[in-house]
């Protein structure tokens, strides 16, 4: 089975694809689009990948959430059509109506709770151009969410509330979801944190014995 992942939020899809390839016979491929934050680049996790991506990582700098408006160029959709399924996150959920294969929406946060509701969150954009842009993005995001074949999401609010407000058919929503993977070799107890002078760290270590990241 060949699966494409598009929308590498904080490198979650890179980690999933990497270990699917390592621990199964699934031919997982990662598609990278226009990057605005280095935490979305695989080399942020594995530095040896810088300028040295393997054949299963495809980096298209021209690929962005506005690609759907470029009706004269459908090369990205053609490349994705070669896979049995496409797992989408972030603004790339908007691609779903233009893909003929199985599509899955892997929710990560704002792609479900914020992007589809530009009117509610218009105060976050200070200029008229940015406000208009979010309304266009919101339209395509809602269209994509309603078109996907499956939705993998957390079973609590605000995710469930957003799906209810979008009137998504319950049959699309799976009763299990894939938690974000955390590397316990990187994120582990640091005894020196209790001696930190950083006010944010002090607030945590002085008031809590147990911290849960989600």
* 61 Cβ contact list (under 8 Å, min separation 6): 33, 34, 35
Residue 188: the pLDDT is 83
Task: Report the alpha-carbon distance of residue 165 to residue 180 in Å, rounded.
Answer: 24
Residue 89: the pLDDT is 95
Give tens-digit pLDDT for 156-177.
889 999 999 999 999 999 988 8
Task: Report the alpha-carbon distance of residue 14 to residue 132 in Å, rounded.
Answer: 32
Q: What is the pTM of this model?
A: 0.85
Alpha-carbon torsion 106, 35, 158, 201, what sign?
A: positive
Buried b (16+ CB within 10 A) or exposed e, 124-134: eeeeeeeeeeb
Hey, what are 201's tokens?
A: 């760290």
Residue 71: the pLDDT is 66
Give tens-digit pLDDT for 119-145.
998 888 889 888 898 899 999 999 999
Task: Report the alpha-carbon distance of residue 131 to residue 134 in Å, rounded.
Answer: 5
- Total residue count of the chain as it appears in this document: 214
Regions of the chain where pLDDT drops below 50: none
58, containing H or E segment: strand 57-59
Residue 36: the pLDDT is 75
């Amino acid at each position: 089975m060949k699966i494409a992942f598009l929308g590498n939020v904080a490198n979650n899809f890179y980690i999933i694809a990497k270990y699917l390839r390592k621990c199964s016979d699934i031919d997982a491929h990662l598609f990278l689009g226009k990057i605005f934050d280095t935490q979305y680049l695989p080399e942020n996790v594995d530095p040896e990948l810088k300028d040295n991506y393997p054949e299963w990582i495809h980096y298209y700098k021209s690929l962005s959430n506005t690609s759907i408006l470029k009706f004269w160029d459908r090369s990205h959709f053609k490349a994705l059509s070669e896979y049995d399924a496409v797992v989408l996150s972030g603004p790339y959920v908007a691609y779903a109506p233009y893909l003929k294969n199985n599509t899955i929406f892997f929710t990560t946060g704002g792609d479900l709770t914020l992007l589809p509701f530009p009117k509610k969150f218009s105060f976050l954009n200070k200029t008229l151009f940015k406000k208009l842009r979010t309304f266009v993005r919101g339209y395509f995001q809602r269209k994509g969410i309603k078109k996907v074949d499956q939705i993998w999401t957390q079973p609590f609010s605000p995710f469930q509330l957003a799906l209810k407000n979008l009137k998504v058919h319950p049959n699309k929503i799976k009763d299990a979801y894939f938690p974000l993977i955390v590397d316990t070799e990187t994120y582990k107890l640091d005894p020196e944190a209790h001696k930190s002078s950083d006010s944010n760290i002090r607030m945590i270590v002085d008031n809590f014995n147990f911290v849960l990241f989600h």
